Amino acid sequence: MLDLKFVRNNPEVVKQNIKNKFQDEKLPLVDEVLELDARNREIKQEVEALRAQKNKISKQIGALMAQGKKEEAEEVKKQVAENADRIEALSTEEKQVEEKLKKDMMTIPNIIDPSVPIGKDDSENVEVERYGEPVIPDFEIPYHTDIMKRFDGVDFESAGRVAGNGFYYLMGDIARLHSAVISYARDFMINRGFTYCVPPFMIRSNVVTGVMSFAEMDAMMYKIEGEDLYLIGTSEHSMIGKFIDTMIEEKELPKTLTSYSPCFRKEKGAHGIEERGVYRIHQFEKQEMIVVCKPEDSMEWYDKLWQNTVDLFRTLDIPVRTLECCSGDLADLKVKSVDVEAWSPRQKKYFEVGSCSNLGDAQARRLGIRVKGENGKYFAHTLNNTVVAPPRMLIAFLENNLQEDGSVKIPEALRPYMGGNEVILPKH
């Protein structure tokens, strides 16, 4: 959410930003916010004047009563009553205006960084850099679920009976590999100085609206019936929510956390053939990282965060690239974002396995995350990034480490988490 004062003083900048994000339908919101803001200030001024007048008149009533002028005092009391009715009516209007103003402000997108490329959608994202040499083996790479089935490693049929489409059982070596990757990612981030965290897997509505846009909320979140609780779609939501309505001492920054959690998503809409299997599902597990920092440090942390993911994937012999998200592909709260994509030797192209985002002070402003520094109080900046998100990450791992005989090589970094095994062998 933007600073209302910024919108008031820079309406054309805000409108151009909306145009850059190809959300022209939101342009009228800027003028509406200016009108609501002006009316809100008018109401406050009138209420303040009426209350001052009420105090003054109350003293007059006391003086008149002391002088025995009861009739005059009663007439003045009528004016007090009229003022009270007017104050009540204005207070009701003030509440309505402020609710509408807040909703509009939460719908207007954040100001994107000047370095963000302008484009309509993800087809116009810009490749930044590649890490590792993509390899296309001289043998056929099966679809990822077919690789898993050779290990008796996935069961969709039973999961369908238990929970429906979009769920799965991971079994045997594939399940162990899944847990090994998560554990390795946890230790990798701890070794980089992050504090390990297991957060709540449900959050209240005020946290949901604080960490994401309304559109994202509708597309992603599962609500618990009869409760003010939502299942998290990603653990950064509850980790950022940890700091809701807090005042952090500047000397305590940055806050750097890495978390494990299951994640739950509706995943609305139809998806292509390459998003079958365990690519796009309703439940998965994830290792995440978040940073709460001073505004002047956020871009430096942004570069550190995505580099962590690149480094981790390279230790597992998986080639990756970074892709700068264009303006039209940025969620409304984001200032800047980069996707990390892993190489798929089967598809002969890269696909997304993680996303790093700098949200500026937008989340902090919504959640009330303030910093107390030497020069006063201000809103913190927040960032988040995926470390790994199996089972999607398993697709990249299996394809890049599959051997011609059907076995899967275990990179040296992961072997301590796989009982020392250098390979896992298929059952079929």
Residue 314 sits in a domain whose CATH number is 3.30.930.10
Summarised one tens digit per residue, pLDDT across range 251-283 is 999 999 999 999 999 875 545 555 577 777 899
Inside any domain, residue 177: yes
Predicted confidence at residue 223, as pLDDT, reads 92
Share of the chain above pLDDT 90, in %: 80
Inside any domain, residue 221: yes
Last residue of a domain, one of 72, 107, 142: 107
Predicted confidence at residue 63, as pLDDT, reads 66
Same domain, residue pair 135 and 48: no
Predicted confidence at residue 220, as pLDDT, reads 84
> In whole angstroms, how far apart are CA 1 and each of 4, 28, 129, 332?
9, 17, 31, 9
Last residue of a domain, one of 46, 78, 107: 107
**Contacts for 173 with CB less than 8 Å, ≥ 6 apart:** 151, 153, 424
CB of 147 within 8 A of CB of 402?
A: yes
Same domain, residue pair 84 and 196: no
| pTM as predicted | 0.89
Inside any domain, residue 116: no
Same domain, residue pair 93 and 149: no
Inside any domain, residue 115: no
What is the spatial distance between Cα 288 and Cα 261, in angstroms, rounded to a whole number?
8
Same domain, residue pair 54 and 144: no
Closest CA to 205 of 231, 178, 182: 231
Inside any domain, residue 112: no
Same domain, residue pair 140 and 97: no
Predicted confidence at residue 186, as pLDDT, reads 97
Same domain, residue pair 267 and 164: yes
Same domain, residue pair 264 and 158: yes
Predicted confidence at residue 274, as pLDDT, reads 52
Inside any domain, residue 143: yes
Same domain, residue pair 72 and 161: no
Q: In CATH, what number is assigned to the domain containing residue 73?
A: 1.10.287.40
Same domain, residue pair 98 and 233: no
Q: Rg of the Cα trace of the chain?
A: 28
Same domain, residue pair 233 and 325: yes
Predicted confidence at residue 270, as pLDDT, reads 47
Q: How many domains does the chain have?
A: 2
Predicted confidence at residue 277, as pLDDT, reads 74
CB of 209 within 8 A of CB of 366?
A: yes
CB of 344 within 8 A of CB of 351?
A: yes
Low-confidence stretches of the chain (pLDDT < 70) are 58-67, 69-71, 73-76, 268-275
Inside any domain, residue 113: no
Residue 16 lies in domain? 4-107
Same domain, residue pair 72 and 209: no
| DSSP per-residue letters across 305-336 | HHHHHHHHHHHTT--EEEEEPPGGGS-TT-SE
Inside any domain, residue 114: no
Summarised one tens digit per residue, pLDDT across range 299-308 is 999 999 999 9
Last residue of a domain, one of 107, 136, 161: 107
Same domain, residue pair 301 and 356: yes
